[in-house]
């Protein structure tokens, strides 16, 4: 299975709102994914003209997508059963450096615990080995719509 197909099989996100290019490593507690911003992404035209940067919320979205992949890998069909992990809460969000066209970020997400159907995780986005964004988040499961 090619790298992008592996991502497609885990989450429903597609272009232009897919922010995971590749799964680098994954085990039962942690995932490491990568995303390269080419400069052709839709948001660069308006954020900001003449000085394009990746919005911080899209760095968060990249890590959230990596977290969804991790949950589908950890819990597979026995618990997820075709449902989708959706964000229920984010906290302690910190933005430490800018990401620009041509940059490659790494998203590391660690599973912390599950309590009453809610999954708690910690995300760290790095650029050139330095933290760009970090935050805690929680996901709950929702039924997939029949589209």
Q: Catalytic residue, from 47, 73, 112, 124: name it.
A: 47
Reference 97, options 48, 56, 46, 144; nearest CA is 56
**How many Å apart are CA 103 and CA 44, to the nearest integer?**
13
Q: Indicate if 47 belongs to the active site.
A: yes
Q: Is residue 35 within 8 Å of residue 69, measured between CB atoms?
A: no
Give the containing element (helix H, strand E) for 132: strand 130-142
Active site residues: 47
């Amino acid at each position: 299975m090619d790298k992008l197909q592996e991502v497609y099989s885990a989450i429903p996100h597609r272009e232009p709102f897919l922010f995971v290019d590749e799964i680098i490593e994954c085990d039962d507690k942690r995932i490491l994914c990568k995303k390269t911003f080419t400069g052709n992404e839709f948001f660069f035209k308006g954020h900001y003209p003449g000085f394009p940067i990746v919005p911080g919320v899209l760095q968060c979205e990249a890590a959230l997508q990596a977290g969804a992949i991790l949950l589908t890998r950890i819990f597979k069909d026995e618990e997820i059963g075709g449902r989708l992990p959706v964000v229920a809460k984010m906290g302690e969000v910190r933005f430490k450096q800018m990401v620009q066209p041509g940059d490659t970020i790494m998203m590391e997400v660690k599973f912390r615990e599950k309590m009453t159907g809610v999954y708690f995780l910690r995300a760290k986005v790095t650029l050139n080995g330095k933290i760009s964004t970090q935050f805690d988040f929680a996901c709950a499961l929702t039924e997939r719509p029949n589209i």
